[in-house]
Amino acid sequence: METPDPHNLAASGSLGENQQRVKDGAGLLTSAALKKLDEDLPWYRALPKEDRAWVSVVAQSGISSFVSWFINPELGVQSAGDMFAAAPPDLIRSISLQHTLQIVRCAVEVVEAYSDRLAAPGQEQNLKEAVLRYSREVAFEAAEVYARAAEVRGAWDARLEALVVDAIVRGDRDKSLRSRVSALGWSGVGKVLVMVGSTAPQFDDLRSADLRRAVRRLVQDVLVGIQGDRIVLVLGGDGDLFTAAQSLTPRFGEGPVIIGPTVASLDDAPRSASAALAALESISAWPGAPRPVAADELLPERMLIGDPLARGTLIAQAYDPLSASGGALLETLSAYLGTGRSLEGAARDLYVHPNTVRYRLRKVAEITGWDPLDARESFVLQVALAAGRLPAEF
């Protein structure tokens, strides 16, 4: 025989007695539910005292709303949002959806356990079915509450991330930068580099989310900034960031992709961003540039557009070490470049054998990392010599 629905038996004397017994037992249910929370849920016991108190309020609200609904079913099920109304909004950040559902389950188990004691004779099953229906509705409502909270939090995180990336691009060294990225989950472990390029066609939220997932599979930390038709990626971690950046090239749209220099920490990220953006601005001066290309491969072009960081790098990596070597290497490189990159011409100007010139040029390559015998790298060295000869205040 089918068990009758208690809500279809409002006129039944037996149901009225059932409702009254549940109402009278509300205090017993609440006490039992709070005791069960403490006994069965380790995460509840580990909460700070204030949060634990608010979770107790939510649990009491859940029991109270069930009793009210059972007595007056026409009022409808109280939503999870109403259950959380008395608690501070931050409580949703302290306990997860899974934890909330565990609270609901504890309440259900308590009512089931006490149904034989509370329900009128013969109405035990009705009470059990009622609490199961109620818990199902509350669980759905709880999922909606957390979904809305996640949506709001996601929108806030996106705005915060955009502000952080913009600050890095602008070169701001605000002390609050580190706290902001921590709020976004940035671990701060390892080094950092900035990568820039164009967006792919029809770059929407779905493609943006896909890009984030792809980057997170490669590195520990990432910030993604979409600035018009430009993507700015800030990568961080202990691994090989340059190789990871290279593998992300297909995620960008057409055109150049620039990988900024690796820096020690997020505090130095503006330097990597500045180099990458200067390289992006000047790359048209090097039609044969590879894709992707390191920003420091474009030091001559960056210097031509007035990038002070490029000039400083050229002087520090080429002119100053050659000057400090004793003068012969700098003189030999200058003679070689000044005679149209001719070993014999440089040898005649210096009154040495061509093999001596060749030996000295090899030493130049060892010291600077740029080979004067390579067409592109000799151009880099020529610009480095010019940069070093300019007045310091230039």
CA R_g for the chain: 35
Exposed, middle or buried: residue 245 (CB in 10 Å: 0-12, 13-18, 19+)? Answer: buried
Residue with tokens 């309020």: 57
For 308-389, which CATH class?
mainly alpha
Please tell me the predicted confidence (pLDDT) of residue 84: 56
pLDDT of res. 282: 96
Helix (H/G/I), strand (E/B), else coil: 222: strand
Degrees, nearest 5: CA angle 28-30-32: 70
Look at residue 335 in the predicted model and tell me its pLDDT. Answer: 94
- Token pair in block for residue 346: 């440089």
Predicted confidence at residue 270, as pLDDT, reads: 92
Task: Identify which of 298, 291, 263, 262 has the alpha carbon closest to the alpha carbon of residue 277.
Answer: 298
Q: Where are the domains of the chain?
A: 6-151, 177-301, 308-389
pLDDT of residue 67: 77
Question: Which residue from 388, 392, 390, 393 is spatially nearest to 330, judged by alpha carbons?
Answer: 388
Q: What is the pLDDT of residue 122?
A: 77
Supply 316's token pair: 């520090």
Q: Alpha-carbon distance 183 to 179, whole Å? A: 6
E-state strands within 209-362: 221-227, 230-237, 258-259, 293-294
| Residue whose entry in the numeric block shows the structure tokens 């107790």 | 56
How high is the pLDDT of residue 40? 85
At 91 the pLDDT is 60
Residue-level pLDDT, tens digit, the chain, 394 residues: 344 444 444 434 444 777 788 788 888 888 888 888 888 888 888 877 877 787 777 777 777 777 777 777 665 555 444 555 555 555 655 666 667 777 777 777 777 777 777 777 877 787 777 777 777 776 666 666 655 555 555 555 667 777 888 888 888 776 667 777 777 778 888 899 999 999 887 777 677 778 888 888 899 898 888 888 899 999 999 889 999 999 999 989 999 999 999 999 988 999 999 999 999 999 999 999 999 999 999 999 999 999 999 999 999 999 999 999 887 999 999 999 999 999 999 999 999 999 999 999 999 999 999 999 999 999 999 999 999 998 876 6
Q: What is the rounded CA–CA span in Å between residue 279 and residue 122?
A: 81
Are 44 and 55 spatial neighbours (Cβ–Cβ below 8 Å)? yes
Question: 177-301 has which CATH code?
Answer: 3.30.70.2730
Which amino acid would we find at residue 167? A
pLDDT at position 13 is 42
Residue 122 in 3-state DSSP? Answer: coil
Say what the pLDDT of residue 11 is. 39
d(CA 377, CA 362): 13
